[in-house]
Chain A
Amino acid sequence: MTDQSPILYEIIRSRLMAITEEMRIALQSVSGSPTVTDASDFFTGLFRPNGDFATMGFQVTYQAPVVGHLIRHINAAPDKYRPGPGDMFLGNDPYVGALHQNDVQMCGPIYAGDRIIAWAGVEAHETDVGGMDFASWSPKARDVRQEGFRVPCMKLIDAGVLREDVLDTILTASRLPDQLGLDIRAFIATINVAQNRIDQLVARYGAEVITGVMERMIDGSEARVRARLADLPDGTFRATDFLEHDGHDNRLYRISVAMTKTGDRLTFDFSGSSPQAPGFVNCTRSGLEGGVAGAMLAMLAYDVPWNEGVLRTAAIEARDGLICTAQFPAPVGAATVEAIWVVSNVAVAAINKLLACSAGHAHRAQAVSSGTMATFNLGGVNQYGEPFGLHLMDPLAGGSGAFADKDGICAGGPINAPMPSIADVERNELVAPLFYLYRRMGHDTGGAGAMRGGRGVEIGLTLGGISEAEALIMTHGAEVPNTAGGFGSWPGATVTQAMVWGGVEAGARATGETESFGPKPGLMRMTDRDLFCVTWQGGGGWGDPLDREPEAVRADIASGAVSPEATLTLFGVGENEDAATTARRRSDMRAARIGRAPSSAEVSGRTRMSIGPNLRVVELDGAYHVVSAAGARLSTDHTRWREGAITVDLTGETGAQRIALHEDLRMTGYYCPLSGQCLAIDVHERDGLPADDIDLALP
């Protein structure tokens, strides 16, 4: 950008942000999809001609890079797509750039004279885009061609004229053509708004100025994130998470990242992840990029304008054919709530391990939030006699991860949308054939730590106004605690889901017969006598639960966040007891962890940095040591401190935290050999301990 006055830059930057907000309002006001209006699973933004996004709204962050892929796809084949003024293109192919087929995107070029100076892009999750099962999520699919329709790219508006025949072709494939039709019109309105406003800006300031500002916005965000990275310590940070059940078999899949931070750049290496699955839990490379983008925007760019510049600071490495880089024709229908969600979990965990090692950022380091989005879809004929399809958004209401300096938010939801929302129970009961028996916080769901993870919500519902319907029930995280805790804390509870057959009578609870489900029971008939009960994951906690203030634990009992049994088992605090009794019990519990009375040692030397709340890197006699709060020297010349800790298998101890573990998983706690303070809890495969997660570059 040449010689731009900072004043003109700021004026136009603000205008472009205002236009983006206007696009968001247009789309969200018009859309008929609860995924858009409530869950904000959509995208609006302005792009440079090359497909880099310069602005985006406060929406599901996984979608940040998606429309850019469609623009690049058009740019790569100009003779095929022949973009011209007044054109708009539609696409939804995960092998081009969508996260999964439900993500229908549109983009339109913005011209100044005969030159494209920008693109306007929109995207929204559409509830049904065809395929073998309702909502286009098919647990039995083995091939992407069995799932929703795929449009790599097609011109829907040709020089300002809507191609009705093409639109009909699209709508015909959906089980919810009205909803899709309304949304596609919303897309058109939204792109029109952007084109119109940019035209006015160009008329006033000239095209060069506008393109220059967009370029500088991206460069500015990149510079800000690079400056932040440069301020953080170098090293490699690892995180591993799992998803279970691929739709066919309850197999365990691993998504693993080694994030290396060097100077002002990051590399995310996903090579350690499992090969692609035969079922719909995979994601394509664009999904992998989306998951990483979601983590970076929330965790590193929380005060930086969101655009392509943020993502330029990182490289992603992963070979083809992994569960997060699935190759055609692998099915990917549930990618957003399966592989992408777990990619985001590990990227969030790795970034926060990095933040926890920085004096300036450690206070805001956060455990993993809401590690899954369980699915409850319902289809049939509703109480108004119309065919209906429902994709319940309530499962967003998991718990947030705890921060280093405060508890996680109960019902805080995931970090992939800054302004999430779920509908009122009454609205759901009015427009859909649902009847709730409860929607409340789930006790003991937040990860136990010095700072407690936020609680997840639980609901119990049956049908209302109809006698039967077909339900699709699936999740991951029923046997994997996905919300990893930080530095000695427990992860949040796993998802529990069950059907109580005959559990409702005239709106009231009846005994019935309870069938507990695994992760993916799939499609089933349910009636207005059956009660579906589900509890979503709580957030991970932060720090050893025995370090939680006893007063805070008692407040947890009073609010119902933690049951009296769990406070004893996990926190070592009784409901009505004096401080001395609590201290004694906690000391006994620490002793039990390490098999001897807790003690401490004096450590001299200079503290060079901290690793989370309880570990320090100390320089002594020309060497660097990782030292615990109690003074135990855990490692020397490197920060792989687990070698000096006492390990205990916690696999059998997960009940109080409401965690169920997949048969291939184990949990291990690591304790300070002197004090018995819990320093880490790892969830890992049964055949061995995982690699150390924090490997700082020492001077």
Chain B
Amino acid sequence: MLSRNGASGHPGYYERSRGSVGIDSQNRVFHVGTDVGGTFTDLWVSDGAGPARVFKTPTTPDVMTGVMDAVALAAGTLGLSIGDFCVRIRRFGHGTTVGLNALLTGTSARTGVIATEGFGDTLEIGRIRRQTSGLSEYEVTDFHLHNRYPPIVPRHLVREVRERVDATGRVLIPLDEAQAGAALEELAEAGVEALAICTLWAQANPVHEARLKDMAREVLPDAFLCVSHKIAPVVGEYGRMATTAANAALGPVAGRYLSRLEQSLRDHGMTVPLLVMTNAGGVLPTSALNDRPAFTLFSGPAAGVIGSRVMADRLGRDNILTTDIGGTSFDVGVIAEGRPLASTEFSVAGADLRLPSIDIASIGTGGGSIASVEFGDLTVGPRSAGSTPGPVCYGRGGQEPTATDADLVLGILDPDNFLGGRMRLDTEAAREAIETRIARPLGLDTIRAAWGIREILDNNMADLLRRVTIERGHDPLTFTLLANGGAGPSHAWSIARELGLGGFVVPAAATAHSAFGCGTGDLGISESTAVYVRVRHGERPSDAVLGAARDALERIERVVTYHLAAAGAEGDVTLERFAAVRFRGQTNALDVPFGGAGFDATIYDTVIDGFEAAYERLFGRGAGYRQAGFEIVELRVSGTAALAAATATGHGDTPRAHGSRPVVFDDPDAPVDTTIYHVDYPAPDSEVHGPAIIEFPGQSVVVPPGAIARADAYGNLHVTLEARP
């Protein structure tokens, strides 16, 4: 089940996903998705006829080598030369955290900032909330921990220029070109490789930013130049400046990486463009992203949600909770009525970035979460043992018991078959740590203590799932739970039961879900524009205001359509329109989808009706207060175009029983003898009855007593829990 590719010299391995071995023929073509994670680079490949496979190679410091290693491993395993493989690739989707790591480790390009006179400290002041950015809820109350990240660009690389535009877009102070030229010279002198130009109200009137960019091109011919009204045309200079600065800082790094990767694949014969997953969940060719690398910062997590949506479409499900339990975090994506939950702002390395993105809810709870007892209270997390030293059972010096140690003691993990046998676990050490540090202080026996750790962990995760559904006006019972990642499928049963769900699904590509999403997601791009429609109670916006909104909307629709066409959209383009609406005076707005063409009084009414309905769903009946009036602050257009996608049909094997072991389900005093199955990919309709643990390469699916696991035609495993009285 685990195949080491000794011949190619790199220690990769592959996991065959559920599906049959394909028919080798001259016409064979491939759809490929890759995702670069912190530890492994995943590659998912389908030949369109059936077999979908997952390959994993270690992520390399330069990132690109790891990707090319995975390509070589895939080619070799498929019995092809790299060239023969690359030439047959019809689609190559890619997700990467190169940019994110560069920002977090401060290895991005030396970046300068041009700001309006009087506002050069904007990044450092950071709305005074920069100081708490990146802190967990357990850390914010400790002022000694504040200010973890410095401003994204240090003050000595910021220059102020004399100019001013007001909120209506009127130029009050013309750009002082002589002074601006001198400022640019100083930055050139300081050796900046990238420049972010962000002046006040440039999104309302970009004339000064445009001129500054022209001037900068002269003075800094080799620098990567960004203007804020293009990168983040939002109201709010801090977020706009931080986003532009992050984008600038990434340009030389991420842009160079993507073009090198694309070139390398082309050199091997690939004829299609490299498609990169964006934060917003659509893939785009690198040519559309070269000037805005920040749009790919979170491509990995976004791809995971997109992979889930592809899966959901195939299963005919509209509402999905897609979960991933890693070593240090539990991540949840929500797809409601077929639409991934989106946000327009996130924070990286202390900077607020105002970019449309798929929203991933996350808590610092995972396999590495440390259990401890203080003052007689048992807590699990938020401290994590991470991978170094890691759980006690890893034998790398970890002393404090973790959730993984509890799973081992409870029989859920097989000490001899962890990560496909790549690591042997020390059950005795785990038991000892739980005994001395948890069980004895609490006066419990060891198994009960281990079960307690697990219950607390599962409940914390269920709390997060409640938060992302109930809090947003959704009923969790209408959702399908997808369990991804290494530990997800072993915890899903108890989380599902805690939420009252009837079961869960383990996707065929559960251990490489982001790569699957990169290989199967649609082309997509999102553009937004700041507008300002302010309406008092009982009034309607004027024709002039509506006209301005319509013009802005049509402008971004053209941009979206243009990019999709340039990206090679095949077939129909779908445009979705959203308006950010709030009651007059509020700070936060809700994204309200609306249909129709243009923007007129009728559409305005539809938007307001949609807002009031969404508001009541979120905050309860009677929470709305239309007497306050309304404001529309932003319009957004999201365009998607389907790409020909690989469909996989499953054949596969019947799960084989490999003995049994006692496993704790519910009652710590009565472990249940549980059959262990091994399978690479289960054949359609193959069934396993609980209590059972189905061990796949890289993950274990726990099927509790009374539950039934059944494989579908795509190789997904559906686990149905016993109905509770």
Contact = CB atoms under 8 A, between A and B. Distances in A.
Contacts of A436: 118-119
Contacts of A501: none
- Which of the listed residues B118, B137, B156, B380 has the most CB atoms from chain A within 10 Å of its own CB? B118
Contacts of A419: 129, 132, 140
A644 interface: no
Interface stretch (B36-44, B165-173, B652-660, B672-680): B165-173
A438 B141 contact: no
B562 interface: no
Interface stretch (A240-248, A403-411, A482-490): A403-411
A179 B141 contact: no
B235 interface: yes
Interface in A383-421: 384, 386, 396-397, 400, 403, 409-413, 415, 418-421
A178 interface: yes
Contact of A441 (B124, B138, B373, B623): B124
A181 interface: yes
Interface residues of A, number: 90
Interface in A152-178: 162, 178
Most buried by B among A11, A26, A193, A426: A426
Contacts of B127: 421-424
A429 B530 CA distance: 14
Given A29-B588, A412-B146, A18 B463 contact: yes
A411 B124 contact: yes
Interface in A218-237: 220, 223-224, 227
Interface stretch (B454-462, B479-487, B602-610): B454-462
Nearest to B241: A424
Contact of A386 (B237, B536, B620): B536
B586 interface: yes
Given A58-B141, A409-B146, A418-B141, A18 B467 contact: yes
A15 B463 CA distance: 7
A38 interface: yes
Interface in A414-471: 415, 418-427, 429-431, 435-441, 457, 460, 464-465
Q: Which of B147, B200, B380, B455 has the most CB of A within 10 A?
A: B147
B119 A440 contact: yes
B471 A25 contact: yes
Contacts of A33: 585
Interface stretch (B247-255, B259-267, B394-402, B625-633): B625-633
B585 A178 contact: yes
A250 B467 CA distance: 52
A11 to B, nearest CB: 4
Given A30-B619, A409-B146, A7 B452 contact: yes
A41 B129 CA distance: 15
A306 B377 CA distance: 16
A198 to B, nearest CB: 14
B188 interface: no
B627 A18 contact: no
B236 interface: yes
Interface string B637-670: 0000000000000000000000000000000000
A422 B620 contact: no
Interface string B435-458: 000000010100000011001100
B137 to A, nearest CB: 7
Interface stretch (A132-140, A297-305, A328-336, A688-696): A297-305
B378 interface: yes
Contact of B125 (A179, A411, A426): A411
B587 interface: yes
Interface in B397-447: 442, 444
Contact of B456 (A14, A366, A429): A14
B491 to A, nearest CB: 15
A607 B140 CA distance: 35
A227 B239 CA distance: 42
A301 B140 CA distance: 12
B99 interface: no
A558 B132 CA distance: 25
Given A423-B127, A435-B166, A178 B118 contact: no
Interface stretch (A183-191, A259-267, A568-576, A611-619): A183-191
A440 B375 contact: no
A508 interface: yes
A427 B236 contact: yes
A185 B623 contact: yes
B129 A429 contact: no
A34 interface: yes
B237 A10 contact: no
A181 B628 contact: yes
Interface in A15-68: 15, 18, 21-22, 25-26, 28-34, 37-38, 58
Given A18-B463, A34-B587, A411-B126, A430 B619 contact: no
A301 to B, nearest CB: 7
A620 interface: no
A364 interface: yes
Contacts of B125: 397, 410-411, 439-441, 457
Nearest to A363: B144
B235 A418 contact: no
A409 B378 contact: no
B583 interface: yes
B144 A11 contact: no
Contacts of A366: 143-144
B166 A430 contact: no
Contacts of B110: none
A429 B235 CA distance: 10
Contacts of A224: 374-375
14 contacts: A6-B452, A10-B452, A14-B456, A21-B137, A34-B587, A178-B627, A186-B619, A220-B377, A223-B375, A412-B131, A419-B132, A422-B128, A424-B235, A441-B125
The 3 A-B pairs of least Cβ separation, nearest first, read A438-B118, A507-B172, A37-B587
Interface of B: 117-122, 124-129, 131-132, 137-138, 140-144, 146-147, 155-156, 164, 166-168, 172-173, 200-201, 235-239, 373-380, 442, 444, 451-452, 455-456, 459-460, 463, 466-467, 471, 532, 534, 536-537, 583-588, 618-620, 622-625, 627-629
Given A397-B125, A427-B235, 5 more contacts: A6-B444, A178-B628, A193-B620, A298-B143, A560-B155
